Structure 1
Amino acid sequence: MPDRNDAPAPARTELDELRASDRIFRALLDHAPVLISTKDLHGTITMANRHFEILDGYDAATFVGGNVFDLFPADIAERLWRNDRKAALEKRAVHEEEQVYHRDKTLHSYMTVKFPLLDEHGEVYATCAVSTDITDAKAARIDSVTDELTGLNNRRYYNIRFVEEQKRARRDQRTLTLLLADVDRFKEYNDTYGHPQGDEVLKAVAQCMRQTLHRPGDLCFRMGGDEFACLFSSSGPGESMAMAEQLRNCMAARLLPHAGNPPANHVTLSLGLAFIAPDSQDGQEEIYRLADQALYRAKHKGRNTVSR
Protein backbone atom coordinates (compact mmCIF):
# COMPACT_ATOMS: atom_id res chain seq x y z
CA MET A 1 0.00 0.00 0.00
CA PRO A 2 1.55 3.36 -1.04
CA ASP A 3 2.81 5.68 1.67
CA ARG A 4 0.44 8.61 2.13
CA ASN A 5 3.50 10.88 2.24
CA ASP A 6 4.29 9.92 -1.35
CA ALA A 7 0.97 11.17 -2.65
CA PRO A 8 1.25 14.16 -5.03
CA ALA A 9 0.43 17.56 -3.58
CA PRO A 10 -2.91 18.91 -4.67
CA ALA A 11 -2.71 21.29 -7.63
CA ARG A 12 -2.85 24.98 -6.76
CA THR A 13 -6.08 26.53 -7.82
CA GLU A 14 -6.20 29.56 -10.06
CA LEU A 15 -7.50 31.56 -7.09
CA ASP A 16 -4.46 30.53 -5.01
CA GLU A 17 -2.15 31.68 -7.78
CA LEU A 18 -3.93 35.01 -8.05
CA ARG A 19 -3.67 35.53 -4.31
CA ALA A 20 0.05 34.71 -4.37
CA SER A 21 0.63 37.09 -7.28
CA ASP A 22 -1.30 39.82 -5.49
CA ARG A 23 0.81 39.36 -2.33
CA ILE A 24 4.01 39.67 -4.37
CA PHE A 25 2.66 42.74 -6.13
CA ARG A 26 1.67 44.36 -2.84
CA ALA A 27 5.06 43.59 -1.31
CA LEU A 28 6.80 45.24 -4.25
CA LEU A 29 4.64 48.33 -3.96
CA ASP A 30 5.17 48.57 -0.20
CA HIS A 31 8.95 48.16 -0.23
CA ALA A 32 10.23 49.43 -3.58
CA PRO A 33 12.35 52.61 -3.01
CA VAL A 34 10.75 54.30 -6.03
CA LEU A 35 7.54 56.21 -6.63
CA ILE A 36 4.94 54.13 -8.48
CA SER A 37 1.55 55.58 -9.30
CA THR A 38 -1.28 55.61 -11.81
CA LYS A 39 -3.56 58.43 -12.97
CA ASP A 40 -6.74 58.45 -14.96
CA LEU A 41 -7.13 60.65 -18.02
CA HIS A 42 -8.37 63.56 -15.88
CA GLY A 43 -5.26 63.68 -13.69
CA THR A 44 -6.75 61.88 -10.69
CA ILE A 45 -4.40 59.59 -8.75
CA THR A 46 -5.86 56.06 -8.80
CA MET A 47 -2.96 54.20 -7.15
CA ALA A 48 0.21 55.19 -5.30
CA ASN A 49 2.71 53.03 -3.44
CA ARG A 50 3.89 53.57 0.13
CA HIS A 51 7.07 55.40 -0.92
CA PHE A 52 4.96 58.50 -1.61
CA GLU A 53 5.07 59.08 2.14
CA ILE A 54 8.41 60.78 1.53
CA LEU A 55 6.75 63.67 -0.35
CA ASP A 56 5.84 67.02 1.14
CA GLY A 57 2.12 67.33 1.90
CA TYR A 58 1.40 63.62 1.45
CA ASP A 59 -1.74 62.44 3.21
CA ALA A 60 -2.57 58.74 2.86
CA ALA A 61 -6.27 59.45 3.33
CA THR A 62 -6.58 61.92 0.44
CA PHE A 63 -3.67 61.30 -1.95
CA VAL A 64 -5.31 58.49 -3.91
CA GLY A 65 -8.43 60.07 -5.35
CA GLY A 66 -6.90 63.54 -5.42
CA ASN A 67 -6.09 65.45 -8.60
CA VAL A 68 -2.49 66.21 -9.49
CA PHE A 69 -3.24 69.96 -9.54
CA ASP A 70 -4.60 69.81 -5.99
CA LEU A 71 -1.74 67.70 -4.61
CA PHE A 72 1.30 69.53 -6.01
CA PRO A 73 2.35 73.16 -6.51
CA ALA A 74 1.04 74.53 -9.81
CA ASP A 75 4.36 74.63 -11.69
CA ILE A 76 5.29 71.09 -10.64
CA ALA A 77 1.79 69.74 -11.33
CA GLU A 78 1.87 71.25 -14.82
CA ARG A 79 5.11 69.46 -15.66
CA LEU A 80 3.89 66.14 -14.20
CA TRP A 81 0.59 66.29 -16.06
CA ARG A 82 2.22 67.35 -19.34
CA ASN A 83 4.33 64.20 -19.31
CA ASP A 84 1.31 62.02 -18.48
CA ARG A 85 -0.64 63.55 -21.34
CA LYS A 86 2.25 62.99 -23.73
CA ALA A 87 2.44 59.31 -22.81
CA ALA A 88 -1.33 58.93 -23.22
CA LEU A 89 -1.66 60.85 -26.49
CA GLU A 90 1.36 59.27 -28.15
CA LYS A 91 0.67 55.80 -26.73
CA ARG A 92 4.30 55.24 -25.80
CA ALA A 93 6.67 55.33 -22.85
CA VAL A 94 8.02 58.80 -22.07
CA HIS A 95 11.28 59.30 -20.16
CA GLU A 96 11.57 62.70 -18.46
CA GLU A 97 13.24 64.34 -15.49
CA GLU A 98 10.74 65.68 -12.95
CA GLN A 99 11.01 67.46 -9.61
CA VAL A 100 9.00 67.21 -6.39
CA TYR A 101 9.44 68.41 -2.81
CA HIS A 102 10.21 66.01 0.03
CA ARG A 103 8.87 66.37 3.57
CA ASP A 104 12.04 68.21 4.62
CA LYS A 105 11.16 70.90 2.01
CA THR A 106 14.10 70.00 -0.25
CA LEU A 107 13.51 69.83 -4.00
CA HIS A 108 14.44 66.43 -5.45
CA SER A 109 15.00 65.40 -9.04
CA TYR A 110 13.50 62.15 -10.33
CA MET A 111 14.02 60.26 -13.55
CA THR A 112 10.53 59.12 -14.51
CA VAL A 113 9.17 56.73 -17.09
CA LYS A 114 5.48 57.21 -17.86
CA PHE A 115 3.58 54.79 -20.05
CA PRO A 116 -0.04 54.29 -21.10
CA LEU A 117 -2.31 51.59 -19.70
CA LEU A 118 -4.57 50.03 -22.34
CA ASP A 119 -7.95 48.34 -22.04
CA GLU A 120 -9.00 45.19 -23.90
CA HIS A 121 -9.75 47.27 -26.99
CA GLY A 122 -6.30 48.85 -27.07
CA GLU A 123 -7.56 52.22 -25.86
CA VAL A 124 -5.70 54.27 -23.24
CA TYR A 125 -7.60 54.53 -19.96
CA ALA A 126 -4.81 55.62 -17.59
CA THR A 127 -1.07 56.19 -17.26
CA CYS A 128 1.49 54.64 -14.94
CA ALA A 129 4.59 56.43 -13.62
CA VAL A 130 7.74 54.92 -12.10
CA SER A 131 10.15 57.50 -10.68
CA THR A 132 13.67 57.07 -9.29
CA ASP A 133 15.38 59.73 -7.16
CA ILE A 134 18.51 60.94 -8.99
CA THR A 135 19.23 63.98 -6.81
CA ASP A 136 22.49 62.70 -5.33
CA ALA A 137 23.71 61.20 -8.59
CA LYS A 138 22.94 64.42 -10.43
CA ALA A 139 24.80 66.50 -7.84
CA ALA A 140 27.81 64.18 -8.06
CA ARG A 141 27.80 64.44 -11.84
CA ILE A 142 27.66 68.22 -11.70
CA ASP A 143 30.49 68.31 -9.16
CA SER A 144 32.65 66.14 -11.40
CA VAL A 145 32.46 68.61 -14.29
CA THR A 146 32.44 71.89 -12.33
CA ASP A 147 35.37 74.04 -11.26
CA GLU A 148 35.05 74.49 -7.51
CA LEU A 149 36.46 78.03 -7.35
CA THR A 150 34.58 79.74 -10.18
CA GLY A 151 31.55 77.52 -10.70
CA LEU A 152 32.33 77.27 -14.40
CA ASN A 153 32.59 74.00 -16.27
CA ASN A 154 36.00 72.36 -15.99
CA ARG A 155 38.44 70.91 -18.56
CA ARG A 156 36.90 67.45 -18.19
CA TYR A 157 33.54 68.80 -19.33
CA TYR A 158 35.22 70.69 -22.17
CA ASN A 159 36.59 67.40 -23.46
CA ILE A 160 33.15 65.82 -23.20
CA ARG A 161 31.30 68.61 -24.98
CA PHE A 162 33.67 69.65 -27.75
CA VAL A 163 32.77 66.90 -30.24
CA GLU A 164 29.05 67.29 -29.47
CA GLU A 165 29.17 71.04 -30.11
CA GLN A 166 31.13 70.61 -33.33
CA LYS A 167 28.49 68.18 -34.61
CA ARG A 168 25.71 70.58 -33.60
CA ALA A 169 27.33 73.54 -35.37
CA ARG A 170 27.86 71.41 -38.49
CA ARG A 171 24.22 70.37 -38.48
CA ASP A 172 23.01 73.96 -38.00
CA GLN A 173 25.53 75.33 -40.53
CA ARG A 174 26.96 77.80 -38.04
CA THR A 175 30.51 78.76 -37.17
CA LEU A 176 31.75 77.25 -33.91
CA THR A 177 34.24 79.44 -32.04
CA LEU A 178 36.81 78.32 -29.51
CA LEU A 179 37.90 81.29 -27.40
CA LEU A 180 40.90 81.03 -25.08
CA ALA A 181 41.61 83.74 -22.51
CA ASP A 182 44.01 84.28 -19.67
CA VAL A 183 44.78 87.01 -17.17
CA ASP A 184 47.67 89.24 -18.21
CA ARG A 185 50.72 88.83 -15.94
CA PHE A 186 48.75 86.76 -13.44
CA LYS A 187 51.89 85.39 -11.76
CA GLU A 188 53.01 88.93 -11.02
CA TYR A 189 49.54 89.68 -9.64
CA ASN A 190 49.73 86.75 -7.21
CA ASP A 191 53.27 87.70 -6.19
CA THR A 192 52.14 91.25 -5.38
CA TYR A 193 48.64 90.82 -3.98
CA GLY A 194 48.63 87.22 -2.76
CA HIS A 195 46.84 84.07 -3.90
CA PRO A 196 43.54 84.75 -2.05
CA GLN A 197 43.20 88.02 -3.95
CA GLY A 198 44.20 86.18 -7.13
CA ASP A 199 41.29 83.81 -6.56
CA GLU A 200 38.98 86.83 -6.47
CA VAL A 201 40.33 87.90 -9.88
CA LEU A 202 39.56 84.45 -11.30
CA LYS A 203 36.02 84.68 -9.92
CA ALA A 204 35.66 88.11 -11.56
CA VAL A 205 36.72 86.64 -14.92
CA ALA A 206 34.07 83.94 -14.52
CA GLN A 207 31.43 86.57 -13.75
CA CYS A 208 32.32 88.50 -16.92
CA MET A 209 32.12 85.32 -18.96
CA ARG A 210 28.63 84.63 -17.64
CA GLN A 211 27.55 88.20 -18.37
CA THR A 212 28.90 88.11 -21.92
CA LEU A 213 28.24 84.52 -23.01
CA HIS A 214 24.82 83.76 -21.58
CA ARG A 215 22.86 82.58 -24.62
CA PRO A 216 21.49 79.02 -24.70
CA GLY A 217 24.32 76.86 -25.98
CA ASP A 218 27.18 79.14 -24.84
CA LEU A 219 29.65 77.12 -22.79
CA CYS A 220 32.31 78.59 -20.50
CA PHE A 221 35.17 76.68 -18.86
CA ARG A 222 38.04 77.21 -16.48
CA MET A 223 40.76 75.08 -18.00
CA GLY A 224 43.18 75.46 -15.08
CA GLY A 225 45.18 78.22 -13.42
CA ASP A 226 44.23 81.52 -15.07
CA GLU A 227 43.32 79.92 -18.41
CA PHE A 228 39.70 80.05 -19.52
CA ALA A 229 37.86 78.85 -22.61
CA CYS A 230 34.50 79.41 -24.28
CA LEU A 231 32.72 77.37 -26.94
CA PHE A 232 29.92 79.11 -28.79
CA SER A 233 28.35 79.21 -32.23
CA SER A 234 27.77 82.36 -34.24
CA SER A 235 26.94 83.59 -37.73
CA GLY A 236 30.64 84.07 -38.45
CA PRO A 237 33.99 85.46 -37.26
CA GLY A 238 32.68 89.04 -37.06
CA GLU A 239 30.04 88.18 -34.47
CA SER A 240 32.52 86.03 -32.52
CA MET A 241 35.15 88.78 -32.44
CA ALA A 242 32.53 91.25 -31.18
CA MET A 243 31.59 88.93 -28.32
CA ALA A 244 35.25 88.48 -27.40
CA GLU A 245 35.66 92.27 -27.29
CA GLN A 246 32.68 92.49 -24.95
CA LEU A 247 34.37 90.01 -22.63
CA ARG A 248 37.66 91.91 -22.74
CA ASN A 249 35.89 95.21 -22.05
CA CYS A 250 33.88 93.72 -19.18
CA MET A 251 37.04 92.72 -17.34
CA ALA A 252 38.92 95.97 -18.11
CA ALA A 253 35.95 98.04 -16.90
CA ARG A 254 36.27 96.58 -13.41
CA LEU A 255 39.54 98.52 -12.98
CA LEU A 256 40.98 96.00 -10.54
CA PRO A 257 44.43 97.40 -9.61
CA HIS A 258 47.42 95.50 -11.02
CA ALA A 259 50.61 97.53 -10.68
CA GLY A 260 52.61 94.79 -12.41
CA ASN A 261 50.60 95.06 -15.62
CA PRO A 262 51.72 98.23 -17.42
CA PRO A 263 50.56 100.26 -19.22
CA ALA A 264 46.99 99.51 -18.05
CA ASN A 265 47.98 99.04 -14.39
CA HIS A 266 44.78 97.13 -13.80
CA VAL A 267 43.68 93.54 -14.49
CA THR A 268 43.20 92.79 -18.19
CA LEU A 269 42.60 89.77 -20.40
CA SER A 270 44.23 88.57 -23.59
CA LEU A 271 42.04 86.48 -25.87
CA GLY A 272 42.65 84.22 -28.87
CA LEU A 273 39.98 82.82 -31.17
CA ALA A 274 39.84 79.88 -33.56
CA PHE A 275 36.90 79.45 -35.93
CA ILE A 276 35.55 76.06 -36.95
CA ALA A 277 33.56 76.22 -40.19
CA PRO A 278 30.66 73.76 -40.56
CA ASP A 279 32.64 71.74 -43.13
CA SER A 280 35.90 71.75 -41.14
CA GLN A 281 37.66 68.40 -40.71
CA ASP A 282 40.06 69.69 -38.03
CA GLY A 283 40.05 67.72 -34.79
CA GLN A 284 39.90 68.96 -31.20
CA GLU A 285 43.68 69.13 -30.69
CA GLU A 286 44.29 71.08 -33.90
CA ILE A 287 41.56 73.61 -33.12
CA TYR A 288 42.91 74.11 -29.61
CA ARG A 289 46.38 74.68 -31.07
CA LEU A 290 45.02 77.34 -33.44
CA ALA A 291 43.26 79.16 -30.58
CA ASP A 292 46.39 78.95 -28.44
CA GLN A 293 48.47 80.47 -31.26
CA ALA A 294 45.93 83.31 -31.53
CA LEU A 295 46.23 83.88 -27.77
CA TYR A 296 50.02 84.06 -28.13
CA ARG A 297 49.59 86.70 -30.85
CA ALA A 298 47.37 88.74 -28.52
CA LYS A 299 50.11 88.63 -25.88
CA HIS A 300 52.74 89.59 -28.47
CA LYS A 301 50.65 92.62 -29.53
CA GLY A 302 50.89 94.03 -26.01
CA ARG A 303 48.15 92.16 -24.11
CA ASN A 304 44.64 93.41 -23.27
CA THR A 305 43.59 92.58 -26.82
CA VAL A 306 41.74 90.05 -28.99
CA SER A 307 43.45 88.14 -31.76
CA ARG A 308 42.39 85.55 -34.31
Structure 2
Amino acid sequence: MRPVRQPAYGQAAMARSIGMKPKLGALIEEELVAGWGRAAEKHVSLSLLVIEIDRATEYFTAYDKPETDDGVLTVMRAITDALPRVGDSCLRLGRGGFVVVLPDLPVLMARSLAIKITDAVRRQNLAHKESHAGIVTVSLGLAVTNPRGSYDRKFFEAGAEALKKAQRKGIGYLQAVDLRPALERKRAKHKVAKAA
Protein backbone atom coordinates (compact mmCIF):
# COMPACT_ATOMS: atom_id res chain seq x y z
CA MET A 1 0.00 0.00 0.00
CA ARG A 2 1.41 3.38 -1.02
CA PRO A 3 1.53 6.29 1.44
CA VAL A 4 -1.24 8.88 1.16
CA ARG A 5 -0.19 12.53 0.79
CA GLN A 6 -2.58 15.11 2.17
CA PRO A 7 -2.15 18.87 2.05
CA ALA A 8 -3.51 20.67 5.10
CA TYR A 9 -7.18 21.73 4.94
CA GLY A 10 -6.20 25.41 5.01
CA GLN A 11 -3.96 25.01 1.96
CA ALA A 12 -6.14 22.95 -0.36
CA ALA A 13 -9.40 24.26 -1.75
CA MET A 14 -11.40 23.71 -4.89
CA ALA A 15 -10.92 26.11 -7.75
CA ARG A 16 -13.54 28.82 -8.27
CA SER A 17 -14.94 26.79 -11.16
CA ILE A 18 -16.19 24.20 -8.66
CA GLY A 19 -17.76 26.91 -6.53
CA MET A 20 -15.26 27.12 -3.70
CA LYS A 21 -12.06 29.07 -2.94
CA PRO A 22 -10.01 29.89 -6.06
CA LYS A 23 -6.56 29.09 -4.58
CA LEU A 24 -5.10 25.61 -4.98
CA GLY A 25 -2.91 24.19 -2.25
CA ALA A 26 0.84 24.58 -2.70
CA LEU A 27 1.34 20.81 -2.91
CA ILE A 28 -1.23 20.45 -5.70
CA GLU A 29 0.18 23.42 -7.61
CA GLU A 30 3.65 21.93 -7.28
CA GLU A 31 2.43 18.55 -8.59
CA LEU A 32 0.69 20.19 -11.57
CA VAL A 33 3.74 22.29 -12.48
CA ALA A 34 6.10 19.30 -12.15
CA GLY A 35 3.81 17.01 -14.19
CA TRP A 36 3.41 19.69 -16.86
CA GLY A 37 7.20 20.12 -17.04
CA ARG A 38 7.88 16.37 -17.35
CA ALA A 39 5.28 15.95 -20.09
CA ALA A 40 6.48 19.04 -22.01
CA GLU A 41 10.09 17.88 -21.83
CA LYS A 42 9.23 14.43 -23.22
CA HIS A 43 6.64 15.77 -25.72
CA VAL A 44 3.96 13.47 -24.30
CA SER A 45 0.41 14.04 -23.09
CA LEU A 46 -0.59 15.00 -19.57
CA SER A 47 -3.79 13.70 -17.99
CA LEU A 48 -5.47 15.17 -14.93
CA LEU A 49 -8.21 13.63 -12.81
CA VAL A 50 -10.26 15.92 -10.58
CA ILE A 51 -12.38 13.71 -8.32
CA GLU A 52 -15.04 14.47 -5.73
CA ILE A 53 -17.21 12.40 -3.41
CA ASP A 54 -20.77 12.54 -4.74
CA ARG A 55 -23.16 14.56 -2.60
CA ALA A 56 -20.19 15.47 -0.41
CA THR A 57 -21.98 18.23 1.52
CA GLU A 58 -24.77 15.85 2.48
CA TYR A 59 -22.22 13.18 3.43
CA PHE A 60 -20.39 15.52 5.80
CA THR A 61 -23.69 16.68 7.32
CA ALA A 62 -25.13 13.16 7.80
CA TYR A 63 -22.19 11.68 9.71
CA ASP A 64 -19.90 12.85 12.51
CA LYS A 65 -16.39 14.16 11.86
CA PRO A 66 -14.41 11.05 12.88
CA GLU A 67 -16.59 8.87 10.62
CA THR A 68 -16.34 11.22 7.62
CA ASP A 69 -12.58 11.67 8.15
CA ASP A 70 -12.17 7.89 8.11
CA GLY A 71 -14.41 7.68 5.04
CA VAL A 72 -12.42 10.29 3.12
CA LEU A 73 -9.16 8.58 4.02
CA THR A 74 -10.59 5.23 2.85
CA VAL A 75 -11.63 6.81 -0.47
CA MET A 76 -8.18 8.37 -0.85
CA ARG A 77 -6.48 5.03 -0.19
CA ALA A 78 -8.75 3.32 -2.75
CA ILE A 79 -7.76 5.95 -5.34
CA THR A 80 -4.07 5.72 -4.46
CA ASP A 81 -4.05 1.91 -4.63
CA ALA A 82 -5.67 2.05 -8.10
CA LEU A 83 -2.92 4.25 -9.55
CA PRO A 84 -0.80 2.46 -12.15
CA ARG A 85 2.71 3.70 -11.33
CA VAL A 86 4.76 4.03 -8.16
CA GLY A 87 5.38 7.78 -8.74
CA ASP A 88 1.67 8.61 -9.14
CA SER A 89 -0.07 10.14 -6.14
CA CYS A 90 -3.48 11.31 -5.02
CA LEU A 91 -3.73 14.70 -3.33
CA ARG A 92 -6.56 16.10 -1.23
CA LEU A 93 -8.47 19.02 -2.67
CA GLY A 94 -10.79 20.65 -0.19
CA ARG A 95 -12.87 18.48 2.11
CA GLY A 96 -14.14 15.78 -0.26
CA GLY A 97 -12.07 16.25 -3.41
CA PHE A 98 -8.90 14.76 -4.86
CA VAL A 99 -6.46 15.47 -7.68
CA VAL A 100 -4.33 12.99 -9.62
CA VAL A 101 -1.72 14.34 -12.08
CA LEU A 102 -0.68 11.76 -14.69
CA PRO A 103 2.15 12.75 -17.04
CA ASP A 104 2.75 10.40 -19.97
CA LEU A 105 -0.50 8.50 -19.48
CA PRO A 106 -2.46 8.25 -22.75
CA VAL A 107 -6.10 9.34 -22.69
CA LEU A 108 -7.51 5.81 -23.13
CA MET A 109 -5.45 4.57 -20.18
CA ALA A 110 -6.58 7.59 -18.14
CA ARG A 111 -10.23 6.74 -18.93
CA SER A 112 -9.65 3.12 -17.89
CA LEU A 113 -8.03 4.33 -14.68
CA ALA A 114 -11.03 6.58 -13.95
CA ILE A 115 -13.37 3.58 -14.27
CA LYS A 116 -11.06 1.51 -12.07
CA ILE A 117 -11.10 4.27 -9.41
CA THR A 118 -14.90 4.49 -9.51
CA ASP A 119 -15.15 0.72 -8.99
CA ALA A 120 -12.50 0.71 -6.24
CA VAL A 121 -14.38 3.38 -4.27
CA ARG A 122 -17.70 1.54 -4.64
CA ARG A 123 -16.06 -1.68 -3.39
CA GLN A 124 -15.23 0.08 -0.10
CA ASN A 125 -18.98 -0.04 0.62
CA LEU A 126 -18.92 3.09 2.79
CA ALA A 127 -22.40 4.07 3.95
CA HIS A 128 -23.88 7.27 2.50
CA LYS A 129 -27.52 7.51 3.53
CA GLU A 130 -28.04 10.79 1.62
CA SER A 131 -27.13 9.18 -1.73
CA HIS A 132 -29.59 7.03 -3.66
CA ALA A 133 -26.72 4.56 -4.15
CA GLY A 134 -26.63 4.07 -0.38
CA ILE A 135 -22.82 4.07 -0.48
CA VAL A 136 -20.06 6.59 -1.16
CA THR A 137 -19.39 7.09 -4.87
CA VAL A 138 -17.20 9.55 -6.75
CA SER A 139 -17.54 11.58 -9.93
CA LEU A 140 -14.53 12.47 -12.02
CA GLY A 141 -13.40 15.14 -14.44
CA LEU A 142 -10.62 14.16 -16.83
CA ALA A 143 -8.58 16.74 -18.75
CA VAL A 144 -5.88 15.84 -21.29
CA THR A 145 -3.40 18.13 -23.02
CA ASN A 146 -0.01 18.18 -24.73
CA PRO A 147 1.95 20.66 -22.59
CA ARG A 148 4.24 23.22 -24.20
CA GLY A 149 6.04 26.04 -22.44
CA SER A 150 5.21 26.95 -18.85
CA TYR A 151 2.29 25.59 -16.85
CA ASP A 152 -1.13 26.93 -17.84
CA ARG A 153 -3.65 27.16 -14.96
CA LYS A 154 -6.49 26.81 -17.45
CA PHE A 155 -5.60 23.12 -17.59
CA PHE A 156 -6.78 22.56 -14.01
CA GLU A 157 -9.85 24.70 -14.66
CA ALA A 158 -10.74 22.43 -17.60
CA GLY A 159 -10.56 19.36 -15.34
CA ALA A 160 -12.64 21.09 -12.66
CA GLU A 161 -15.27 22.12 -15.21
CA ALA A 162 -15.39 18.54 -16.52
CA LEU A 163 -16.06 17.37 -12.94
CA LYS A 164 -18.94 19.83 -12.62
CA LYS A 165 -20.46 18.47 -15.84
CA ALA A 166 -20.09 14.90 -14.60
CA GLN A 167 -21.85 15.79 -11.34
CA ARG A 168 -24.74 17.39 -13.20
CA LYS A 169 -25.41 13.98 -14.82
CA GLY A 170 -25.83 12.26 -11.45
CA ILE A 171 -23.48 10.14 -9.33
CA GLY A 172 -20.51 8.05 -10.38
CA TYR A 173 -20.03 9.77 -13.74
CA LEU A 174 -16.89 10.61 -15.71
CA GLN A 175 -16.68 13.62 -18.01
CA ALA A 176 -13.58 14.04 -20.17
CA VAL A 177 -12.22 17.02 -22.07
CA ASP A 178 -9.41 16.63 -24.59
CA LEU A 179 -7.66 19.96 -25.11
CA ARG A 180 -5.20 18.61 -27.68
CA PRO A 181 -7.20 19.18 -30.90
CA ALA A 182 -7.78 22.87 -30.07
CA LEU A 183 -4.10 23.33 -29.18
CA GLU A 184 -2.97 21.70 -32.42
CA ARG A 185 -5.29 23.95 -34.46
CA LYS A 186 -3.94 27.00 -32.62
CA ARG A 187 -0.30 25.95 -33.25
CA ALA A 188 -1.02 25.23 -36.92
CA LYS A 189 -2.67 28.64 -37.31
CA HIS A 190 0.33 30.27 -35.63
CA LYS A 191 2.75 28.49 -38.03
CA VAL A 192 0.73 29.65 -41.05
CA ALA A 193 0.69 33.23 -39.77
CA LYS A 194 4.47 33.12 -39.20
CA ALA A 195 5.11 31.75 -42.68
CA ALA A 196 3.01 34.44 -44.37
Whether these two folds match at TM > 0.5 is yes
Q: 1:287 aligns with which of 120, 145, 155?
A: 155
Q: What is the CA-CA distance between 1:214 and the residue it aligns to?
A: 4.9
Q: Would you say the 8 A contact 1:251–1:269 is kept in 2?
A: yes
Q: 1:219 aligns with which of 89, 109, 123?
A: 89
Q: Secondary structure at the match of 2:90?
A: strand
Question: How many equivalent pairs are there?
Answer: 158
- TM-score, normalised to structure 2, is 0.73
In structure 2, how many angstroms separate the alpha carbons of the residues matched to 1:185 and 1:146? 21
Q: Secondary structure at the match of 2:98?
A: strand
Q: Secondary structure at the match of 2:153?
A: helix
Residues 215 and 194 (structure 1), Cα distance of their counterparts in 2 relative to 1, 3 Å cut: same
What CA deviation, in whole Å up to 9, does each residue of 1:106-129 have, x standing for no partner?
A: xxxxxxxxxxxxxxxxxxxxxxxx
What CA deviation, in whole Å up to 9, does each residue of 1:213-235 have, x standing for no partner?
A: 15133132102211110001244
Q: What is the CA-CA distance between 1:260 and the residue it aligns to?
A: 0.6
Higher fraction of strand: 1
Q: Secondary structure at the match of 2:141?
A: strand
Verify: 1:272 aligned to 2:128, yes or no: no
Q: What is the CA-CA distance between 1:303 and the residue it aligns to?
A: 1.7
Q: Would you say the 8 A contact 2:80–2:89 is kept in 1?
A: no
In structure 1, how many angstroms separate the alpha carbons of the residues matched to 2:87 and 2:152? 18
Counting only pairs closer than 5 Å after superposition, residues 79-94 of structure 1 correspond to structure 2 as: none
Q: 1:160 aligns with which of 30, 52, 60?
A: 30
Residues 212 and 167 (structure 1), Cα distance of their counterparts in 2 relative to 1, 3 Å cut: same
Residues 146 and 185 (structure 1), Cα distance of their counterparts in 2 relative to 1, 3 Å cut: closer
- TM-score, normalised to structure 1, is 0.48
Structure 1: which 5+ residue stretches go unaligned? 1-144
Q: Would you say the 8 A contact 1:190–1:197 is kept in 2?
A: no
In structure 1, how many angstroms separate the alpha carbons of the residues matched to 2:8 and 2:164? 27
Structure 2: which 5+ residue stretches go unaligned? 10-23, 177-196
Q: Secondary structure at the match of 1:182?
A: strand
Q: Would you say the 8 A contact 2:51–2:141 is kept in 1?
A: yes
In structure 1, how many angstroms separate the alpha carbons of the residues matched to 2:28 and 2:7? 11
**Equivalent residue for 1:298?**
166
In structure 1, how many angstroms separate the alpha carbons of the residues matched to 2:120 and 2:163? 18
Q: Name the % identity.
A: 25
Q: Secondary structure at the match of 2:93?
A: strand
Higher fraction of helix: 2
Q: Which has the larger radius of gyration?
A: 1
In structure 1, how many angstroms separate the alpha carbons of the residues matched to 2:165 and 2:6? 29
Over 3 Å off, 4+ runs: 145-149, 281-284
Residues 218 and 212 (structure 1), Cα distance of their counterparts in 2 relative to 1, 3 Å cut: same
Q: Secondary structure at the match of 2:91?
A: strand
- Residue identity matched to 2:36: Q
- Residue identity matched to 1:274: A
- Higher RCO (CA < 8 A, seq sep 6+): 2
**Equivalent residue for 1:233?**
103
What CA deviation, in whole Å up to 9, does each residue of 1:141-188 have, x standing for no partner?
A: xxxx84369xxxx93112123222212112223211111011111221
Verify: 1:251 aligned to 2:121, yes or no: yes
Verify: 1:147 aligned to 2:15, yes or no: no
Verify: 1:197 aligned to 2:67, yes or no: yes
Residues 256 and 212 (structure 1), Cα distance of their counterparts in 2 relative to 1, 3 Å cut: same
